Structure 1
Amino acid sequence: MPFRRKKSEETSQLYSMLALAQAGDETARNDLIESYTPFILRTASQASRRYIDRGQDDEFSIALMAMNEAIDRFDGSKKSSFLGFAETIIRRRLIDYYRSQKSQNRSVPWTEFDVSDDEDNVINYVEVKTSIDAYEMAEEQEARRSDIEAYAQALRHYGLTFSDLVELSPKHADARQSAIQVAKIVASDEAMRAYVHERKALPLKLLEDKVNVSRKTLERQRKYILAVVILLSGEFQHLQAYIS
């Protein structure tokens, strides 16, 4: 437990420094880079497959530039890991560097997009963008997979499974949309959400006064509606997007 608390505190401090650095606080940027110099060295060494000396190797300077780039480009709204993002940028910038050292090999399709910065470091923004996109896609897939596992567990607390959803989902699109609208009404009402949470059931009597749907239809679709309420009421952002 103490270890987890310390880890959480370190993560909180990292993102606090990152926010300040992105807002233009150069002291915070320098502190962040200094604190994570071991991470930068380790990533550069792994990418280079050899020990990198911060005082002698160009790779360290390139990795530092990449860390700065990661600070500038990281988008916290996507809820991805900054260190994972920074590692991707560092690796790609080092790849650019090594490719620039072997400029005679022009077989890579997008080398025509290579440009040099003020210090003659070769940057390939197409390749960096492709790498970033691949990283963010992997992060998105992992987050969605995590949401699915958590949602499945939440459903079990209500005696439901994914198989039930497939079987119970209204076959017609208009009926399905109607059921989803009912679920949204329940999820947005504090009293009805509390009823669902406490009794693991739909508040059918309360619903009858709020929706233009027959009691018979509500009872027939209750498990499906309940499952959607669970989805909308929980922290399943990557799955909620599928509910139109």
Structure 2
Amino acid sequence: MRQIDESAIKAQNDKDFLEIFIYEYEPFIMHLTSKVLGRYISRSDDQWSISLSAFNEAVKSYSFEKGSFIPFAEKVIRRLYDYIKKQSNHLPEVLVSPHVFENNAEEEQMAIAHEIAEKTAVASQNDARLEINDLADTLSGYGFSFSDLVSVSPKAVKTKKACAKAIAFVIKRPVLVNELKRTKFLPTKIIVENLNLPRKIIERHRKYIIAGIEIIAGNYPILAEYLKFVREEF
């Protein structure tokens, strides 16, 4: 029996010790998560929180009969991501990625299934499915699909900010929101003239802007989390 195994048992009934225990093994958690996902992660990534939760669950469910703690914790973390991946395979094709609303859309495509599931795992998974399916139906009324957003997602910071301004501009004006929903046409001219933005940017990212408006103006709390940067323009 190793000291780490005894520490894991002790941490089950001592919250202060649990915090110290998790802190000491953060490098292990980060390394394993990066290994499982096949890419580097930082503490600002959603996967970091997911892995910390998995490690915490490993501590809670550990017993000496399950062998050494580290291999056990590794299995728990890996199984969580395997479950996430398995669940994502059952999601509709429109789940190409809510991350298209953020920067780094191309880089995120390798882990799209993981990230969607991680954001919606367990408690909110069904709600997320409903939101995405509902949004997909709404966007079809504009003549494009959710998956189209991948190719029109702004990559440059400047372009992303311009799109955020356009989305916020329309959201602040209920009349424009209603007109958009009624006509299915983005008021490009009004946006360009009032914000002094390049018309080419607005037209090129029309689908992205429309989707952003529909999400914030509608009842999509989970998807709205991917548009936090737009709130800076309010």
TM-score by length of 1: 0.44
Name the structure, 1 or 2, with higher relative contact order (CA <8 Å, separation 6+): 2
